[in-house]
Amino acid sequence: MKFPLSWLRAHLDTDASLEAITTTLSSIGLEVEGVEDRAAALAAFRIAHVVEAMQHPNADRLRALKVDAGDGRIYSVVCGAPNARAGMKGVLALPGASIPGTGVTLKAGEIRGVRSEAMLLSAREMGLGDDHTGIVDLPEDAPLGESYVTWAGLDDPVIEISVTPNRGDALAVHGVARDLAAAGLGRLKPLPAPRVTPAYASPLRWEIADPRACTWVLGRAIRGLRNGPSPRWLQDWLVAIGQRPINALVDVTNLFTFGLGRPLHVFDVAKVKGTTLTMRMAREGETLAALNGKDYALTAEDGIIADAAGPEALGGIIGGAPTGCDEGTAECFIECAIFDPVRIALSGRRHDIRTDARQRFERGVDGDLPPLALDLATQTMIELCGGEASAVVAAGTQPAWRRSATLRFERLAGLGGAAVPPDEAVAILERLGFGVEARDADRVTVGVPPWRNDVAASGALDQDPTLPPERARAAAEGCAEIEPECDLVEEVLRIRGLDRVPPVSLPVASPVPAPALTPKQARAGLARRVLAARGMLDCVSFGFLEGRVAALFGDTPKALRLDNPIAADLDQMRPTPVASLLLAAGRNAARGWPDAALSELGAAYRDPSPQGQVAVAAGVRTGQTPRHWAEPSRPMDAFDAKGDAMAVLAALGVPVAALQVMADAPGFYHPGRSGVVRQGPKTVLATFGEVHPRILAALDLAGPAVAFEVFLDAVPEPKRRRRGMPDLPAFQPVRRDFAFLVDAGVAADALLRAARGADKALIADVALFDRYAGERLPEGKVSLALQVTLQPREATLTDAQIDGVAERIVAAVAKATGAVLRA
């Protein structure tokens, strides 16, 4: 919403500065988006008179002028403009002035031997247009020495505010002025009392055939008009807010739209077919040729104004071209109606028509203003165009806008945190147009003004359907009681200034508060930290990606495909963050950094339910380990990814030694080089492995690439318990190595488990320290070497005891895996 300061002053009697006005507007909820002040840059320029114009002695195209600036001095000016001539009036800039169109600061100097002490300006040099064919040529009667911007009416800053959706009343200069007056910035000028005498019966009448189309409408005709351009003040205001002046009748409707927030429409009576204008719903197949030059196919959900020929306006949104007023209009008919905000919003959206009328009706207009607005508009039109008014015709009923609201003064402090004296609060409400209906020491009851559709508004709640009925009813009753009061607290506080509410630090129950994160919530941060400490870069990627890419990584149900993606490559919720990270690795490789280690804590989407959005710690590593003298570079492999996954699980308190690893990982992994980590038979905690070569090819990645996922929600919450006494045996452990020959297909894990289980009391640890497969072994066999640590507790082990355990170990491993001890 834009308005020039002069328009505001037409509604607000104030001596406040522009800065005070804009600061206050922002403070009270009418946020200033900008102030266009054309005057500031042009303030120094004066109207001057060219007294003498001589040919420049040394240049054919230049003239040497003597210019009277009206300040008692005559300036010598060298000027190249073809229209510079003696007797003309122009705009003069003196040394030191900044020229807006060029950004240059003017200095006195000499041009080809002739002194030039000032400059006559073109429109372009003043930043007022493109005209640079000559200097500005002002009329004879332009006052010498006066400020040019003042004379030209440009010293009228245009203020633009953003109006929040609740404040339809502030989409009007009058409403803005009312708020400013309430905030102490002057006095709201009352609307003038109209004096219109009906001279004849209206040639048109209203009919409301369907109340959905309109609930209340007034109208009246004016005959004997001479429509033409509107006066300069009105044109200036409209131009300042970006409207195109059209003709006086139409311009007056805009004056009311923007001035009072009261959209009007004018029909040319001569163009209306028949004598009845009907408010009804459109019929399928009907069309409207609208004032914006477009044709609209109407639907049965559109409320229209129709004459005998069909639709002539989309009520409350846009008028029709065939019945619009033009310079030839001799008799007009003014429409002033109330429309249903929701229907306006839906119709406007359906046809994608954004008009100032729609914007206002959508937010709700003043329910009491139509009779006065109609009279005022009639009066203004007659003032501008002459003619005489008909009687008013109406249909429907005025909306019931009267509502009351009660404020307990205590709530200003109790909710608003500001101990506002009751008199001050009541005065603010009164200045906003609330009328006191009753007041005692504790409370005031006010009537809500008809333009404040947002205060004490009724409207259904949207309660949680699973609430117990008793609780739902109590809450709804409480809301009905509290909401209007809350509205009033807001009005008082915003007008008084929220900066005047004293801040109070939030009281804490304890100076050492309870942890902000539950142990379960803390896991994501811990996982992120563990992975970063392992050299991975924590990433944040979009949760949606291209459907084709997503399909490489798992199911891409239709339920997870966006109805309205912003781009075709961002249309499917990802089945795993691994997809995002591999794409990122590809981008890094393309930048010349093929060795990437990227991780992300984010969701994998399986279905749209809350449970279907799974928290995953994922990572990818691509390329090689770094080259280093102490360690040769090698490609990443599945055991790197397994290390990452296991490190996360260990940090989350999972006893990793007891986990099972199986080779049934999802399809985006290499089928022979990937695993699933399970706790128990069912619970999948993690996956890891090399990325499938087909995925690498599809993503154009060179590889190798490994990845892992840890499913945080599947990790059981670690129990908080004391660690008990440490196990610190008095006797030295004994370590024995065993090398087994086993079928290549046997899982190493099986050997480890069997060995551990051979003597649970004595065996403290089993580690696999060598794996060999090669030509020295029989075909299909591998050698696995274990180090077993035996921890005696009662006495030092004898050789016989050690041999006994060794035999049990060999037997257990043989039984479980078929392995034999290597000779």
Partner 1 sequence: MTDATISPAADDLAALAAEAAAQLAAATDLRALDAVRVGVLGRSGSLTGLLKGLGAVAPEQRRERGAALNRLKAELEAGIEARRAVLEDAALDARLAAERIDVTLPARPHPPAGPDAGTIHPISRTIEELTALFGAMGFAVAEGPDIDTDWHNFGALNIPEHHPARQDHDTFYLPPGPDGRRPVLRTHTSPVQIRTMVTQEPPIRVIVPGRTWRADHDATHSPMFHQVEGLVIDRAITLGHLKGCLIDFLRAFFGIADLPVRFRASYFPFTEPSMEVDIGWNRRTGELGQGSDWLEILGSGMVHPRVLANCGIDPRAWQGFAFGMGIERITMLKHGITDLRPFYESDARWLRHHGADPLAPPSLAEGV
By CB under 8 A, the residues from 661 to 690 that bind partner 1 are 661, 663, 670-675, 688-689
Looking at beta carbons only, is 540 or 725 nearer to partner 1? Answer: 540
Place of tokens 């069909």: 310
Looking at beta carbons only, is 123 or 684 nearer to partner 1? Answer: 684
Interacting residue with partner 1 among 471, 735, 793, 815 (CB under 8 A): 471
Size of the site for partner 1 (CB under 8 A): 149
DSSP secondary structure letter of residue 503: P
**Segment 285 to 324, residues that bind partner 1, using CB under 8 A:** none
Interacting residue with partner 1 among 363, 431, 452, 523 (CB under 8 A): 363
Interacting residue with partner 1 among 270, 479, 811, 820 (CB under 8 A): 479
The rounded distance, in Å, linking the Cα atoms of 116 and 109 is 5
Looking at beta carbons only, is 6 or 660 nearer to partner 1? Answer: 660
Asked whether the beta carbons of 573 and 544 are under 8 A apart, the reply is yes
- State in angstroms the smallest separation of the CB of 261 from partner 1: 15
Pairing outcome for strands 388-389 and 216-223: antiparallel
- State in angstroms the smallest separation of the CB of 743 from partner 1: 11
- Tokens coding 410: 């205590």
Interacting residue with partner 1 among 132, 244, 771, 793 (CB under 8 A): 771
Interacting residue with partner 1 among 404, 625, 783, 789 (CB under 8 A): 625
Looking at beta carbons only, is 106 or 641 nearer to partner 1? Answer: 641
**Segment 733 to 762, residues that bind partner 1, using CB under 8 A:** 747-750
**CA dihedral over 365, 369, 371, 374, signed as positive or negative:** negative
Nearest to 683 by CA among 713, 640, 638: 713
Asked whether the beta carbons of 49 and 144 are under 8 A apart, the reply is yes
- Tokens coding 245: 């002046």
* Under rule CB under 8 A, residue 728 binds partner 1: no
Looking at beta carbons only, is 502 or 726 nearer to partner 1? Answer: 502
**Segment 790 to 809, residues that bind partner 1, using CB under 8 A:** none
Q: What is the chain's alpha carbon radius of gyration, rounded to the nearest angstrom?
A: 42
Interacting residue with partner 1 among 14, 22, 27, 202 (CB under 8 A): 27
Looking at beta carbons only, is 744 or 761 nearer to partner 1? Answer: 744
**Segment 509 to 528, residues that bind partner 1, using CB under 8 A:** 509-510, 513-518, 521, 525, 528
* Under rule CB under 8 A, residue 815 binds partner 1: no
Q: Which stretch binds partner 1 (CB under 8 A): 279-287, 313-321, 678-686, 767-775?
A: 767-775
Interacting residue with partner 1 among 34, 535, 716, 718 (CB under 8 A): 535
Q: Binding mask 46-75 vs partner 1 (x if CB under 8 A, - otherwise)?
A: ------------------------------
Asked whether the beta carbons of 317 and 353 are under 8 A apart, the reply is yes
Interacting residue with partner 1 among 52, 160, 356, 483 (CB under 8 A): 483
* Under rule CB under 8 A, residue 166 binds partner 1: yes
Burial 82-112 (b: 16+ CB within 10 A, else e): eebeeebbbbbbbeebebbbeeeebeeeebe
Place of tokens 């930043």: 127
Q: Which stretch binds partner 1 (CB under 8 A): 40-48, 260-268, 302-310, 531-539?
A: 531-539
Interacting residue with partner 1 among 366, 487, 546, 709 (CB under 8 A): 487
* N-to-C CA span, the chain: 93
The rounded distance, in Å, linking the Cα atoms of 750 and 210 is 81
Q: Which stretch binds partner 1 (CB under 8 A): 97-105, 255-263, 475-483, 815-823?
A: 475-483
The rounded distance, in Å, linking the Cα atoms of 28 and 492 is 10
The rounded distance, in Å, linking the Cα atoms of 818 and 816 is 6
> 168 to each of 162, 217, 294, 504, how far by Cα in Å?
11, 19, 27, 33
**Segment 537 to 596, residues that bind partner 1, using CB under 8 A:** 537-544, 558-567, 570, 573, 580-581, 584, 587-588, 591, 593, 596
* Sheet strands (E) in 387-516: 388-389, 393-396, 404-408, 435-439, 443-447
- State in angstroms the smallest separation of the CB of 325 from partner 1: 30
- Residue 642, H or E segment: helix 638-651
* Under rule CB under 8 A, residue 606 binds partner 1: no
- State in angstroms the smallest separation of the CB of 602 from partner 1: 8
How many beta carbons lie within 10 A of that of residue 45, not counting itself? 25
- State in angstroms the smallest separation of the CB of 439 from partner 1: 22
**Segment 627 to 656, residues that bind partner 1, using CB under 8 A:** 628, 636, 638-640, 642-647
Residue type for position 471: R
Planar angle of CA 541, 545, 549, nearest 5 degrees: 120
Place of tokens 């210019």: 67
The rounded distance, in Å, linking the Cα atoms of 335 and 307 is 13
* Under rule CB under 8 A, residue 284 binds partner 1: no
**Segment 405 to 464, residues that bind partner 1, using CB under 8 A:** 413-418, 459, 461-464
How many beta carbons lie within 10 A of that of residue 682, not counting itself? 7
